[in-house]
């Protein structure tokens, strides 16, 4: 297993996916080490020759910006900052997202504009490589002074405070240091602020959701293709000519995907089909394609952010400048996280409509896709479940980014609410997986009711694999187990 060198190149969604899938460890590149040390040395020299106030370095924070702090208290100032800002509450942040927060924070600090000590960044690298995951909570960030509360919880264990997950056990930072023979760090001037200013909570959630969104967008096409055949639809809406004269890339790609999955199908070639199919089948390229194009745009925003410096103030050794600005403001992420909610919710909305059509008792399929309907309710209530989840997603699409609330005595008077956008986006993402799983369950049941006619070789193979975990529904049974097995099948199966 090779290390990934922080600073050896830009992070991207593809690079992060490789790091995760190959369980790579990370290390700082020589260039990153040089930049970090140069910036720290510059700040130390600056403070020894400069007695004036520099925000967050020898002053208080937020509306306390005008309170000068004596040089002998600068270390205590940073220690107090982490303790006072660790005000998270609610549910715990999922562990994979915490690990992404570590990676993205290390990346941001590696550019040498944050004035952290090399020992601090290296300890974060050690956390990542040893799978030491600080306990962080989902609520507490306004997404505008950075993710202050979540990042304070991320940084607490560095100074021997807070809790972590290590070896599947939740322990205190003190116990961690005892187990590993480590000493808690003593933060120098500016370091605490560099650690808690930043957008890594929002960025980690967005990165996690985007990776899952890409997979689910592919699954949405596959399951739609099964539904198209199961519902005895026409191939016409997926022929390339119509899409080339309205050349949105996502639309073209989706139509090509459906064609590829249906290639060689007996069912798609059947005679006597209806002249047109419902929109939820006929407009798959247009609807799925629009979501794909949206995901691609959102990815570009997050890839910019994951390669950015987002703390404050920013330190520029070569220019002899320390600039207090607003790179921690999460507006670019808040807007796109809301956008991602909508793009994913629409994939779920059209999927639920196909499920509804499949159980409707039309086109030669029995009502609710079960033999002896009446005695058996079949898949009637699975569609209720999909409808419930699709409706919840619509409610979660109310944008967080248009909201704001004043904090810090009016100093922070416009905030992004990107953290709320991030946590609800994950809920939408997980909900989409459940809706697609229900369509998969439904479409495979309908397809089997078309026997002996077959779909394409690719679809038949996928359905055969699926039938190893969810069997054909002969009569009423506990469907919650089938839905859960379908969700797990999607999660574990690579297309």
Q: Supply the residues annotated as catalytic.
A: 55
Tokens standing for residue 485: 């097995």
Locate the DSSP E strands across 49-149. Answer: 89-92, 133-134, 137-139
DSSP letters spanning 390-446:
HHHHHHHTS-STT----BGGGTB-----HHHHHHHHHHHHHHHHHHHHHHHHHHHHH
Q: Which long-range contacts (CB under 8 A, 24 or more apart) does 169-177 make?
A: 170/135, 176/132
Tell me the CA distances in angstroms from 392 to 118, 356, 385, 428, one per residue in order. 46, 17, 11, 8
Q: Quote the CA–CA distance of 396 and 156 in Å, as a whole number.
A: 32
- Tell me the torsion sign for CA atoms 78, 93, 424, 105: positive
Neighbours of 374 (CB within 10 A): 9
Q: Let me know: does 91 contact 157? Beta carbons within 8 Å.
A: no
DSSP 312: S
Q: Is the peptide bond before 313 cis (omega within 30 degrees of 0)?
A: yes
In degrees to the nearest 10, what's the CA dihedral of 361, 430, 486, 474?
Answer: -30
Tokens standing for residue 245: 């004269």
Q: Let me know: does 401 contact 421? Beta carbons within 8 Å.
A: yes
Residues 6+ apart with CB under 8 A from 271: none
HSE-up (13 A, CA, CB side) for residue 392 = 17
Q: Quote the CA–CA distance of 243 and 250 in Å, as a whole number.
A: 10
Closest Cα partner for 230 from 444, 437, 439, 441? 444
Q: Let me know: does 192 contact 81? Beta carbons within 8 Å.
A: yes
Classified as helix, coil or strand, 68 is strand
Tokens standing for residue 367: 């009502």
Q: What is the distance, to the nearest Å, from the Cα of residue 369 to the centroid of all Cα atoms in its chain?
A: 35
Neighbours of 377 (CB within 10 A): 14
Tokens standing for residue 416: 């992004």
DSSP 493: -
Q: Quote the CA–CA distance of 360 and 369 in Å, as a whole number.
A: 8
Tokens standing for residue 21: 């899938």
């Amino acid at each position: 297993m090779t290390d990934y060198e922080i600073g050896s190149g830009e992070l991207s969604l593809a690079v992060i996916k490789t790091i995760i899938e190959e369980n790579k460890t990370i290390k700082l590149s020589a260039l990153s080490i040089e930049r970090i040390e140069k910036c720290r040395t510059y700040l130390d020299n600056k403070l020894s020759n400069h007695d004036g106030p520099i925000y967050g370095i020898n002053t208080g924070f937020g509306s306390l910006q005008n309170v000068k702090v004596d040089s002998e208290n600068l270390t205590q100032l940073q220690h107090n900052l982490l303790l006072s800002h660790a005000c998270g509450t609610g549910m715990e942040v999922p562990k994979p997202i915490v690990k992404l927060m570590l990676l993205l924070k290390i990346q941001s600090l590696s550019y040498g504009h944050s004035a952290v000590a090399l020992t601090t960044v290296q300890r974060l690298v050690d956390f990542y490589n040893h799978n030491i995951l600080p306990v962080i909570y989902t609520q507490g960030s306004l997404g505008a002074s950075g993710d202050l509360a979540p990042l304070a919880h991320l940084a607490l264990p560095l100074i021997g405070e807070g809790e972590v997950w290590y070896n599947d056990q939740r322990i205190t930072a003190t116990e961690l240091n005892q187990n590993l023979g480590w000493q808690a760090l003593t933060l120098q001037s500016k370091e605490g602020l560099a650690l808690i200013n930043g957008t890594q909570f929002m960025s980690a959630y967005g990165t996690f959701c985007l990776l899952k969104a890409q997979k689910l967008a592919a699954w949405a096409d596959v399951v739609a293709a099964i539904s198209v055949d199961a519902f005895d639809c026409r191939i016409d809406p997926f022929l390339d000519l119509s899409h080339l004269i309205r050349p949105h890339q996502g639309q073209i790609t989706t139509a090509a995907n459906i064609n590829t999955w249906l290639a060689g199908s007996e069912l798609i070639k059947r005679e006597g089909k209806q002249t047109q199919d419902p929109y939820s089948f006929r407009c798959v390229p247009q609807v799925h394609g629009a979501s794909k194009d949206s995901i691609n745009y959102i990815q570009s925003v997050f890839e910019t952010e994951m390669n950015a410096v987002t703390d404050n103030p920013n330190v520029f050794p070569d220019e002899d400048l320390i600039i207090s600005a607003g790179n921690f403001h999460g507006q670019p992420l808040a807007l796109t996280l809301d956008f991602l909610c909508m793009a994913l919710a629409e994939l779920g909305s059209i999927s639920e409509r196909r499920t509804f059509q499949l159980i409707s008792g039309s086109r030669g399929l029995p009502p609710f896709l079960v033999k002896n309907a009446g005695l058996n309710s079949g898949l009637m209530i699975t569609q209720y479940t999909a409808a419930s989840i699709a409706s919840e997603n619509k409610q979660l699409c109310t944008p967080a980014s248009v909201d704001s609330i004043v904090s810090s005595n009016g100093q922070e008077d416009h905030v992004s609410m990107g953290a709320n956008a991030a946590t609800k986006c994950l809920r939408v993402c997980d909900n989409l997986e459940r809706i697609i799983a229900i369509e998969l369950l439904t479409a495979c049941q309908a397809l089997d009711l078309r026997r002996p006619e077959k779909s394409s070789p690719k679809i038949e193979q996928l359905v055969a694999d699926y039938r190893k975990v969810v069997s054909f529904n002969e009569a009423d049974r506990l469907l919650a187990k089938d839905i859960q097995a379908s969700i797990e099948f999607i999660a574990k199966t690579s297309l």
